[in-house]
Amino acid sequence: MEYVKSKKYDIPIIKEKIMGPNPIKLEEELLRDNRIPAGAVVMDLGSGQGVTSVFLAREYGFRVYAADLWSDPSDNQRFFDEMGAPREQLIPVKADATNLPFEKAFFDAVVSVDSYNYFGRDPKYLDDCLLPVLKPGGYLYLVFPGMKRDCHDDLPPELLLSWTPEQLAYMHDMAYWRRMFSQSTAKLLSLRETEGNEELWRDWLECDNEYAVNDRKSMEAGGGKYLNFIIAVLQK
């Protein structure tokens, strides 16, 4: 895939804030055929330091709530201001994904990049926590790290060069996620792998971030052949 929109974000301030395989490109691929109209109210769930939120607001014209538990909303607000995002269009919120501080049926859509696998492995999560804040007919656009095939009973040594079994337990294959989503009232519209897996990882491994340096050990040993990114699109 050619990431046309993402090229504009290949700048130092963005590179300093990413914490994994290129989240801007992940989001562009996730939304390649999106059905969310411009002007929609969208939650960026697990928004981290806000780079995906800026992308949603600037490139798609959404009104975005950047919801994250671990980032400081005031830090994100300064970043949004620096990026020229209007305050009424991009709102940082400290939020726990399992206890969201929003009214019912508040959002037209929820977008989540590189975080859903941390809190979405509870089969009750969608119906109990996330779908209530989504309007009827609203969309969920999710992309998260996964495995080509679940191998937790016999983890490849290449993967263990960078990650512990506990960290790898957050990653599963598409069959696992299909079973998980089937237990929800949401309709699964599509489930697929991303096309740009190698490019997404390459962008990350070229960073000087200490986590990127650690991830190089597994990827340089061939661990990438076991991993993928999974895109899921659902509708309430």
pLDDT band (50, 70, 90) for residue 34? very high
Looking at every residue in the chain, the average pLDDT score rounds to 96
- Tell me the domains of the chain and their CATH numbers: 5-151+172-214+228-235 (3.40.50.150)
pLDDT digits (tens, 9 = 90+) for 92-146: 999 999 999 999 999 999 999 999 999 999 999 999 999 999 999 999 999 999 9
Q: What is the pLDDT of residue 205?
A: 95
- 180 residue type, one letter: M
Contact residues for 204 (Cβ-Cβ < 8 A; gap 6+): 18, 20, 21, 22, 212, 215
Name which of 30, 35, 61 is nearest 45 in CA terms. 30
Contact 177, 145 (CB under 8 A): no
Dihedral sign computed on CA atoms, order 10, 16, 21, 24: negative
pLDDT digits (tens, 9 = 90+) for 43-84: 999 999 999 999 999 999 999 999 999 999 999 999 999 999
Q: What is the pLDDT of residue 105?
A: 98
Q: How far is CA 228 from CA 133, 172, 175, 201, in A?
A: 29, 9, 13, 10
> Chain centroid to CA 209: how far?
19
Contact 162, 223 (CB under 8 A): yes
The CA distance from 139 to 235, in Å, is 4
The CA distance from 51 to 9, in Å, is 9
Q: Which residue has the tokens 């519209």?
A: 189
Structural element, H or E, at residue 116: helix 116-119
> Can you name the residues that pair with 65 across neighbouring β-strands?
43, 91
Q: What is the pLDDT of residue 189?
A: 98
For the CA atoms of the chain, what is the radius of gyration?
17
The CA distance from 114 to 140, in Å, is 14
As a whole number of Å, the end-to-end CA separation of the chain is 28
pLDDT digits (tens, 9 = 90+) for 173-206: 999 999 999 999 999 999 999 999 999 999 999 9
The arithmetic mean of pLDDT across residues 21-42, rounded, is 96
Contact residues for 85 (Cβ-Cβ < 8 A; gap 6+): 54, 57, 58
The CA distance from 50 to 111, in Å, is 13
Map residue 171 onto helix, strand or coil: coil
Structural element, H or E, at residue 141: strand 134-147
> Chain centroid to CA 32: how far?
14
Name which of 136, 160, 134, 176 is nearest 43 in CA terms. 134
Q: What is the pLDDT of residue 45?
A: 98
